Amino acid sequence: MVTEETVEPPKKPPPSFKSSTFQQTFRPISVSGKKRTWKSLKQVLAQERTLPWPPEAVHYSSINAPPSFKPAKKYSDISGLPARYTDPQTKLYYATADEFSTVRSLPMDITAGYLALRGASSIVG
């Protein structure tokens, strides 16, 4: 008879995030008791532009993306819901029949304001 030997694989150490002795060294605790403030993307980009980068370095401001092939999604100017319809008179987007009656009852200056918020370049008239 041949006896089967079971070979156990070598045990790996547990990941560092499961270690009870793990301490975060990248985020020191401040002595003054103030919370660390986080930078916005705009601040990160501004700081990145000021650093001396070699020409071949890739960073946020050097990445160029091609235009999307998918059409832009339309959202209702009144409620913000996905809009299927456009009012041909005012060029505002709307999602329901109730919004359509609201769109038609709006004065021209409010309609122009909604179009300006959306960034539409067409003039209502």
**Worst-scoring range by mean pLDDT, 42-56, 68-82, 98-112?**
42-56
10-to-7, 13, 16, 31, 117 alpha-carbon distances in Å: 9, 10, 18, 43, 63
The gap from C-alpha 74 to its chain's centroid, in whole angstroms, comes to 17
Longest dimension (CA), the chain: 97
Average pLDDT along the chain: 80
Task: Read off the amino acid at residue 16.
Answer: S
pLDDT digits (tens, 9 = 90+) for 97-121: 999 999 999 999 999 999 998 888 6
Q: 33 φ, ψ to 5°? A: 90, 5
> Looking at the whole model, is its pTM more than 0.85?
no
CA distance 81 to 93: 10
